[in-house]
Chains A and B, each alone.
Chain A
Amino acid sequence: RKEVEQDPGPFNVPEGATVAFNCTYSNSASQSFFWYRQDCRKEPKLLMSVYSSGNEDGRFTAQLNRASQYISLLIRDSKLSDSATYLCVVRFNTGGFKTIFGAGTRLFVKA
């Protein structure tokens, strides 16, 4: 089983739609969680950190469920510019911090 798993997609949605991605992680000692966005042939950039209480940044909402070991990203009112790959990132401490990147979920928003 992979340490961090994501549905690769692609998710094809019309503009204005709401779309949600989930990411599961296997290490219960995981401590920090992030969503990164990666455009085609570009570097990943931080979209948002994920806090235990859940957090929102404009149209984006991230949630963490420690009991079920998953994090989610919800995008409301999708824009064409949201088309990208979304990477789930988990950091845990096993005698030293380790960061694991998921393979990403591809999103295409169409007019």
Chain B
Amino acid sequence: DGGITQSPKYLFRKEGQNVTLSCEQNLNHDAMYWYRQDPGQGLRLIYYSQIVNDFQKGDIAEGYSVSREKKESFPLTVTSAQKNPTAFYLCASRADMTGGVDEQFFGPGTRLTVL
């Protein structure tokens, strides 16, 4: 089955610790995205990547870092510099590099709680 997987589903972290969220896709999609969702708010873009070894900051990149060493993988690191990291993190991918009308497919999300 093709799709996007994220792990872990739930993650607890102590303040001051870095943590890495995994995102893997076997859809052969070029573009991948990381979003953050907080209650009552829309999805906010953290980082995105349109091609391997290249990525761009989204609207709320401060305190986060990413890498794109393989087409299938786009891990997100939440660093200790992120002031309010407790949120629902969603990874997505999209096939069309030209920005056409095709949809984004989402992984099941990781719910991060900072204790």
Which residues of chain A have a CB within 8 Å of any CB of chain B?
4, 8, 31-32, 34, 41-46, 49, 87, 91, 93, 96-97, 99-104
Contact = CB atoms under 8 A, between A and B. Distances in A.
B41 A103 contact: yes
Contacts of B111: 41
Nearest to A50: B101
A43 B108 CA distance: 5
A51 to B, nearest CB: 9
B106 A87 contact: no
Given A44-B43, A103-B41, A103-B42, A49 B101 contact: yes
A86 B109 CA distance: 17
B71 to A, nearest CB: 19
B99 interface: yes
Contact of A43 (B40, B99, B103, B107): B107
B32 interface: no
Contacts, number: 41
A87 B103 contact: no
Interface on chain A toward B: helix, strand, loop, or mixed SS? strand
A9 to B, nearest CB: 11
Interface in B62-110: 88, 90, 99-101, 103-104, 106-109
Nearest to B94: A99
A97 B45 CA distance: 13
- 6 tightest Cβ-Cβ pairs between the two chains A and B: A97-B99, A43-B106, A101-B43, A101-B42, A103-B42, A46-B103
B113 to A, nearest CB: 13
7 contacts: A43-B109, A44-B43, A46-B103, A46-B104, A91-B101, A103-B42, A104-B42
B42 A43 contact: no
A103 B38 CA distance: 9
